[in-house]
Homo-oligomer: A and B are copies of this chain.
Amino acid sequence: MDIGTFSALAEPNRLRIVELLAHGPLTVGEIAERLNLRQPQASKHLRVLLDARLVTVHADANRRNYALQMEPLQEMDAWLNNYRRMWNERFDNLDQYLQELQSKPEQ
C-alpha cells in the first residue's frame, strides 16, 4: 500500500476535491469556486493529488482539466481485502450465534 495516497487524502480540501471529481473532470477555477478556495491553494492541492497520481491534467488552452484517477483507490481497495476477511468472520460469528439462538429459542 502506497502511503502517499493516505497522505494526500488526509487533508480535508483534498478529500473534497476527490469527491468533487467523482462526478467528472473540472477546471481549477471550478474547483476553487465550488470549494470556496483561493485559486493558488486549489492549484497547490491539485499538485499534491497529481504527485500522488490521484488525478491527471489535460491542458485545454488556458484551462486545465483535472480528472480523477482510479488506480490509487483500487490499490486501497486491494489492501482492504486483507481485512474484509476479518470483519466477515466476525459477522459470520454473529450470524452463527443468532442461528444458535434461533435453534433453541426458549432458554
Q: Which residues of A contact B (CB under 8 A)?
A: 1, 3, 6-7, 9-12, 15, 19, 22, 68, 70, 73-74, 76-77, 80, 82-84, 86-87, 90
Contact = CB atoms under 8 A, between A and B. Distances in A.
Nearest to A15: B3
Describe A's contact surface by its main secondary structure.
Answer: helix
Each complex incorporates copies of this chain amounting to 2
24 contacts: A1-B15, A3-B9, A3-B10, A3-B11, A3-B12, A6-B6, A6-B7, A6-B9, A6-B10, A6-B15, A22-B82, A22-B83, A22-B86, A68-B86, A70-B86, A70-B87, A70-B90, A73-B80, A73-B83, A73-B87, A74-B87, A76-B76, A76-B80, A77-B80
